[in-house]
Amino acid sequence: MLESSEFNHNLLDWYQSNKRTLPWRQTRDPYRIWLSEVMLQQTQVTTVIPYYEKFITKYPDIDSLAEADEEALLKDWEGLGYYNRIRNFHAAVKEVRDNYNSTVPERPETFFNLKGVGPYIGGAVQSIAFNHLLAAVDGNVLRVISRLDADGRDVARASVQKDIKKRIEEIIPLEAGDFNQALMELGATICTPRAPKCIMCPVQEHCEAYSRNIVSELPVKKKAKRKNEIYYNVYFILNDRNEILLRKQEGTLLQGMYELPKYDVDTSVESIEEDLQLSIDTSGRHVGSGKHVFTHQVWYMEGYVLHTRDRHPDFVPLEDVGGLPMSRAMQKIYEQFEVPAERM
DNA sequence: TAGTCGTGGTG
DNA sequence: TCACCAAGACT
């Protein structure tokens, strides 16, 4: 078990002399902290930084983001992934504008009710911006605590995460924001998933896993399920006006992003004509292949060019395609078409 | 609870 | 190459 006073002192002391705090956190501007926490979920700091800079320049405050067009936001988010994050953040920010006078709620109960605000983001924003005594439990913290306590339970379980959050809140000091960031920083730099640097750890003497020599066995996690492999034919459908057929992705995966029509490889051209309500004139040129790995799926894509003389509401001028939000998956196949087209 | 949701880095 | 993982939330 953690000896709270000595443990806290060692951890905070280490953090003060080693911290590489994200610069915008020093402002304690709750909007900036909130935006960055939304971007940081399941995403590395180095990936987030350019996106954060772009957003904070274009949308420096609650009102400017609330007023933004959703498709423009999606375009700015393009490539960052988990696109529901920006939709939820947009909705939450609009609620703050409309119901809370464009001021980020300082009451935890109010803030936690906003869209996209879960236990981590809620705790992080409320502790860093307002010094509320709440834990911010991310993957780093789960790993750190499971090792300190030699806790062999599956950290993926919500009940275990709740437990760890409660446990931290029993010892969290008044400098709650710094304490949370110190735990995360410790996990990111010392108490790493592989090859942890226990020799440099400021709280080594408090670590149950270290004293039992079982650090490498923790945390315990279930093995990931095998990914589903999907094979698509992807179609570049062109008309005689230098336009290409694009549509908005439906369903839940990549919702709202623009895509080339894609069909399971065994779908006939007749079914495609039926589905799109247009007739294909010439068909067939193969333009390339692409593979994209998602969390739970792998796409294998083959791209083909088709021509039609029909009208269709979803045709887009080729020069406008770059302005529409498109997933990396679709970009991978689209790039292979674009380059040869420019040479024609 | 367990599955879903992107993308890039790493050993 | 490949499995794992990253300042998680929603259904």
Q: Band of the pLDDT at A289, cuts 50, 70, 90?
A: very high
The rounded percent of chain A whose pLDDT value lies above 70 is 96
| Spatial distance from the CA of A274 to the C1' of C5 (Å) | 43
> Which nucleotide's C1' sits nearest to the alpha carbon of A142?
C7
Structural domains of chain A ordered from first start: 4-217 (1.10.340.30), 228-343 (3.90.79.10)
Quick check: A251 CB within 7 A of strand C?
Answer: no
Mean pLDDT of chain A: 93
Q: Which nucleotides of B are covered by protein (CB under 7 A)?
A: 1-9, 11
Q: Which residues contact A163 (CB under 8 A, 6 or more apart)?
A: none
The distance in angstroms from the start CA to the end CA of chain A is 69
Nearest residue for B2, CA–C1': A157
pLDDT for A258 beyond 80:
yes
Q: What is the pLDDT of residue A343?
A: 38
Q: What is the pLDDT of residues A309-333, one digit of tens each?
A: 999 999 999 999 999 999 999 999 9
Q: What is the pLDDT of residue A344?
A: 41
| Spatial distance from the CA of A151 to the C1' of C5 (Å) | 20
Active centre residues of A (catalytic): 37
Residues 215-234 of A with CB under 7 A from strand B: 225
Q: What is the pLDDT of residue A33?
A: 96
Q: Band of the pLDDT at A304, cuts 50, 70, 90?
A: very high
Q: What is the pLDDT of residue A117?
A: 98
Q: What is the pLDDT of residues A121-180, one digit of tens each?
A: 999 999 999 999 999 999 999 999 999 999 999 999 988 999 999 999 999 999 999 999
